[in-house]
Structure 1
């Protein structure tokens, strides 16, 4: 089979156009997905490069050959930059420019040698492919799309390696021209179609990433950024099953912002939204590692506390109430607000299911409100509204010493 560069360049062009259409659609539909835009740019550059290279014909005109290879090599570099961006890494632009310019300088220096040009072409593409494959294998975390893309890139580099050995052999007179033409054609086709496969791998990676983001959005509250009621119900059920298997208690806090409706009506919804976000931030900084904060709707929040008794949850509640009372950085004193907290504990002897536990915590919350708000109540236990964190902590030490809590 005679090696026809013109045909191969047209194949490159058609493949690049096809993949560019796919990335163009993804970029348009998901405009915050920056990696897709970079991969689209890479496909467009290789498309332009294919168009320019097609102008040189089989003889290899100087300007189309240099410019076309420059576009293609930088397009390959963009695939690597896109991989970096996909995994949250910035940079790579200076290295890409260096690889492209270095390749072009070598291409100009070796232009009179067809085999020399082929070596530069293969090397210039293989460098960003190798870098991209390393990143994909390093960060893939079991992602099938990343494995597919990395494998395709390795195949592409293998095709370039075969091509390079053949050109070196031809330069040294160790390879027959007919054998070179036949094998080189297959090697280049291998490189071309490996590009389709690694872009397919990128697409699988993108679908998985977008699906994860959609799943996260489904359990996140838009206003505060914390988990929503749907996630709360799922985690409550999960915690209930875990507690029944392991006979370990857990506690639930239900929280309302005091007089929130009045604040909303008198100061506006923007002010109310600010209060909700501030509470979510304060609560996130006050709970312990492993505790989960949720917004159930309106000004209703919940904190799920694994492996925690009601008395242990009490200390967290007191600390959260105190944190809001002493919060700094408010725009003015009128921005301050208080909360009421209801606490309930799951335990095997209480034989509570998730719904019953919520009812218990809700009843404790209403008791805290009836006692004047700005405090907490524990289901089935005495309310100690006026105690501070230090006083509650001392009671825990007394519990550890076997003394009765008053």
Structure 2
């Protein structure tokens, strides 16, 4: 048989080691609130096990009652940490009720009607409630299969619940032999050792959840422009490669817009870089409001942006380009009045295939024409039949005049010609 003090000593060592890990995490990330709950949970578990150890030297069951209560509280704190991790209410009420009721019930079956089997059942139920609530939430998440931390936490939670149920049934039915205050029978000993291992794994799964989030945040930061909050060049190129591959497989075209802010250098020179940053942020907000959720706006250079439009044609691109050019006119007052946008529009074709650079070049050529012909407008790249055959000349369409509502409808000129227009005012 396995002595109960040995079990508690096992818990002290395990949870003290895990507590040191959380202390290290908190030292590096003091504002990471879930780590405080999880650190408190491991500390509470180690303290509870240490208090329960005193049962071997104190002729009173009080250390067992207090130690068991602290272990239940530790489980509840683990649940609260997970809820805070996912920005849910912490669950203080559940913690207070479960801890309080379990303490009273354990005391009753210790002092009033001494029954070790019922103590095991109460202890198991008290442990199972926060773990069951944790499992229910994790299983409700749509990303549970793609996030290793969520998957592991849910799996370990289910295993702990199964072991707790088996332990309760075994205690009530007397499976494995007699239960003694300071010694477990063989069945209970095996189940307790397994619970010790799973409890440690449950705590480690919280660490994995934290690592998953940290990794995802780092990946997100690597793909987002810090100043404007839109996608950066890396994300734009990744998405462009994906769209080229998808288009080559499905034959469904998509459109790219290359955007350059006119007058931006003058704003920086006259008003300072702070004003230039304000202009970039204002433009990004205004442009983003005019895009569908599946369109990607990216800042690819100092004052250069691009828009990737899945499942679209040059006509769709022209409509968005016009809307974005007009968006610049919404901003009033200095230095915003000095900013306008020139845009080049290019559509993926079978000739481009999976090479995104060719599409980028096409959009840049159209952008060059828009700027050359007065800025504050858009131009559309159209490959001529000879381009499709031998990469020869191209046709670039210039946006017609955009002076007010109803103006600027797309006109298709003859091959190798331009339609120009005065700027928007």
1:163 is displaced (CA, Å) by 3.4
Q: What is the match of residue 117 of structure 1?
A: 119
Kindly indicate whether the alpha-carbon contact (under 8 Å) linking 1:252 and 1:345 is maintained by their aligned counterparts in 2.
yes
Match for residue 322 of structure 1? 326
Q: 1:251 to 1:124 in 2, by over 3 A?
A: same
TM-superposed CA distance for 1:41, in Å, is: 2.1
Report the CA distance between 1:293 and its aligned residue: 0.7
2:345 counterpart SS class: strand
Q: Deviations over 1:319-352 (max 9, x none)?
A: 122233124xx6x554443222222222235779
Structure 1 segment 259-270 matched on structure 2, within 5 A: 259-270=263-274
Q: 1:227 Cα shift?
A: 1.3
Aligned to 1:221: 225
Among candidates 380, 397, 406, match of residue 390 of structure 1: 406
Pair 1:182 & 2:198 matched: no
Answer yes or no: is 1:200 the counterpart of 2:204: yes
Aligned residue in 1 for 2:279: 275
Are 2:57 and 1:25 aligned? no
CA contact (8 A) 1:155 1:190 kept: no
Distance 1:6 1:221 in 2: 57
More displaced 10-residue stretch of structure 1: 24-33 or 284-293: 24-33
Who is 2:237 aligned against?
Answer: 233
Alpha-carbon distance in structure 1 between the residues aligned to 2:198 and 2:216: 27
Call closer, same or farther: CA 1:389–1:81 in 2, change over 3 Å.
Answer: farther
Per the alignment, do residues 100 and 361 of structure 1 end up closer, same or farther by CA in structure 2, a change over 3 Å counting?
same
Q: Runs of 5+ in structure 2 lacking a partner? A: 382-395, 413-418, 421-425
Distance 1:135 1:56 in 2: 37
The alignment status of 1:309 with 2:308, answered yes or no, reads no
SS of corresponding position for 1:286: coil
Query: 1:339 is matched with which residue: 327, 338, 341?
Result: 341
TM-score with structure 2 setting the length: 0.82
Give the CA deviation at 1:152. Answer: 2.5
In the TM superposition, residue 369 of structure 1 has moved relative to its aligned partner by: 2.4
Closer/same/farther in 2, CA of residues 390 and 142 from structure 1, 3 Å limit: same
Instruction: Identify which of 360, 363, 366 aligns with 2:365.
Output: 363
Moved more, 73-82 or 84-93: 84-93
How far did residue 51 of structure 1 move? Answer: 2.1
Contact 1:5–1:58 at 8 Å: present in 2 too? no
Question: Which residue number corresponds to residue 102 of structure 1?
Answer: 101
Root-mean-square deviation (CA), in Å? Answer: 3.0
Q: Deviations over 1:193-251 (max 9, x none)?
A: 11122233333333333222222222111112221111212222222232233333222
Greater percentage in helix:
1
- Asked if 1 retains the 8 angstrom alpha-carbon contact of 2:244 and 2:353, the reply is no
Match of 1:381 among 362, 383, 397: 397
Report the counterpart of residue 401 of structure 1 in structure 2: none
Give distance in 2, aligned partners of 1:249 and 1:162.
59
Q: Does the residue aligned with 1:161 lie in a helix, a strand or coil?
A: helix
CA separation of 1:391 and 1:127: change in aligned 2, threshold 3 A: same
Question: Residue 258 of structure 2 aligns with which residue?
Answer: 254
Q: Distance in 1 between matches of 2:148 and 2:292?
A: 35
* Gap regions ≥5 residues in structure 1: 399-404
The match for 1:286 among 262, 284, 290 is 290
Q: CA separation of 1:119/1:372 partners in 2, compared to 1, >3 Å: closer, same or farther?
A: same
- Structure 2 CA distance for partners of 1:63 and 1:266, relative to 1, 3 Å: farther
Give per-residue Cα distances to partners, 1:23-72, cap 9 Å, x unaligned.
33334344554433332221122122222222232767355334333322
State the Cα distance separating 1:100 from its structure 2 match.
1.1
More displaced, 127-136 or 384-393? 384-393
- Indicate the residue corresponding to 1:348 in structure 2: 350
Q: Residue 318 of structure 1 contacts residue 389 of structure 1 at CA under 8 Å; is this kept in 2?
A: no
Q: Please, what TM-score do these two structures have when normalized by structure 1?
A: 0.85
In structure 2, what is the equivalent of residue 402 of structure 1? none
Say yes or no: does 1:13 pair with 2:29.
Answer: no
Q: Which residue, 127, 130, 138 being the options, matches 1:136? A: 138
